[in-house]
Structure 1
Amino acid sequence: MGGRLPAVLLALWLVATLALGIAPYDRNDWLLENALVVLLLAVLLPSHRQRPLSNLACVALFAFLLLHEVGAHYTYSQVPWMQWWQALTGEAPAPGRNHFDRAVHFAYGLLLAPAVADWTALRTPLRGLSLRVVVVALLTAGSALYEMIEWAAAETFGGDLGMAYLGTQGDAWDAQKDMAIALAGSLLWAVLPRKLTRA
């Protein structure tokens, strides 16, 4: 399936996105959340034929995008993961902040790292430790850029849409915590054995 895997994953992701887009919690937030995904795919897809990502990178990217689509469907602060967890384990998580968005920020660092490593290795002479350092730096910069985009979108759209997209849930340090968690995800990738990362 090797050569067909990216196309299969893309098709599965499109089906999931369409299904989760049928009746999202907030249609405008769903559109905003998916705008960056469209931009990401517009960058990756044209170059994939000449410089393909590894199957590992494609699977990790697919997993991240699925998590993102779940967040986009419910808005990140409304994802009912606590109910899912209780149904699965019989144990209720401690009440409080909805941490689904934090899990996805961690996944951003961990699951996008293979694709960023592939993309960088195909275009630069970087390998080994130097490649890992650059991947962590790129993902950290990307996380900071995303937080600035969130802030700009919240300022631009304001009101309920701005707050739904921002998703701070009343935490004044939300952006900094999100960036730190994304950094933790990319650092975990960076210390994994080479056979698991191919970097």
Structure 2
Amino acid sequence: METERYPRRYVLGLAGLFLLFWAALAIAPYDRHDWLLENMLVFGLVAALLLGHRHYSPSPSAATLIFLYLCIHQLGAHYTYAHVPYDAWWQALTGESLNRQLGWDRNQYDRLAHFSYGLLLAYPIREVLIRLGLRPGLWSLVLPVDIVLSTSAVYELIEWIGGEMLGDGLGRTFLATQHDRWDPQKDMAVAVVGALIAMLATAVLVRTRHVNAGAGSQANAQA
């Protein structure tokens, strides 16, 4: 019973910590209307977790990954993705401009967020699929990448429709394309790259665990 309570306490602790982080960044965002639009994703994800908590409670690892992604997203919602001052933060720490060092001519925080979507949420997606009955084999590694790509494409369509409906001002802020006509395709690409890295790392960890378990069984049999 104690081992069952620990993951639940950990997940609830992360939820409480995120609520504090969310509340702090809800104060005086760069653009309140854009903040509300960006938080529709958060409200939807939280609602899904609450509605399905009896059937799926994330493991501590999955909960940590979800927490990290939501924190990254909240920074983007607070400042708007095109204006997150990561370069100023980097200059304060190192005295150098990260954008200048890497040759960037745009704010790259939106790329980080899309990359993090694949990198941090592919594993929780795999966990949900396995809880729903999918066997933990090859398809449990392939389907999360497919879902990340599919949902990224749907999100880009929603952004496009929303941008058209909202007009030039708020629509441009919400889209955060920064005059890059290939922005949607690049966002989807980095999300898939993140998901591939996550699933490759998962495959290596699962394989290592099986090898170690097999070695342990052989040692016990010989003893």
1:144 to 153, 161, 186: 153
Q: Distance in 2 between matches of 1:69 and 1:31?
A: 11
Q: Distance in 1 between matches of 2:137 and 2:91?
A: 42
Runs of 4+ in 1 over 3 A off after TM superposition: none
1:73 to 78, 84, 109: 78
Structure 1 residues 56-90: Cα deviation after superposition (integer angstroms, max 9, x where no partner): 11000000000000000000000000011111222
| Cα shift at 1:195 | 4.7
Is 1:165 equivalent to 2:170 in the alignment? no
Stretches of structure 2 that go unaligned for 5 or more consecutive residues are 1-5, 210-223
Q: Distance in 2 between matches of 1:158 and 1:11?
A: 36
Q: Is the 8 A contact 2:119 2:198 kept in 1?
A: yes
Give runs of aligned pairs for residues 174-185 of structure 1, distance below 5 A: 174-185=183-194
Q: Distance in 2 between matches of 1:71 and 1:6?
A: 23
Equivalent residue for 1:29? 34
Amino acid of the structure 2 residue aligned with 1:194: L
Give runs of aligned pairs for residues 1-199 of structure 1, distance below 5 A: 1-93=6-98, 94=100, 96-192=105-201, 193-195=204-206
Q: Distance in 2 between matches of 1:86 and 1:118?
A: 39
TM-score (norm 1): 0.94
Moved more, 99-108 or 6-15: 6-15
Give the length in aligned residue pairs: 197
SS in 1 for 2:178: coil
TM-score (norm 2): 0.85
Which protein has greater RCO, CA pairs closer than 8 Å, 6+ apart?
A: 1
Whichever of the two has the greater Rg, that structure is 2
Structure 1 residues 160-185: Cα deviation after superposition (integer angstroms, max 9, x where no partner): 11000000000000000000000000
Moved more, 57-66 or 13-22: 13-22
Q: Distance in 2 between matches of 1:91 and 1:48?
A: 45
| Cα shift at 1:2 | 2.3
Q: Is the 8 A contact 2:7 2:59 kept in 1?
A: no
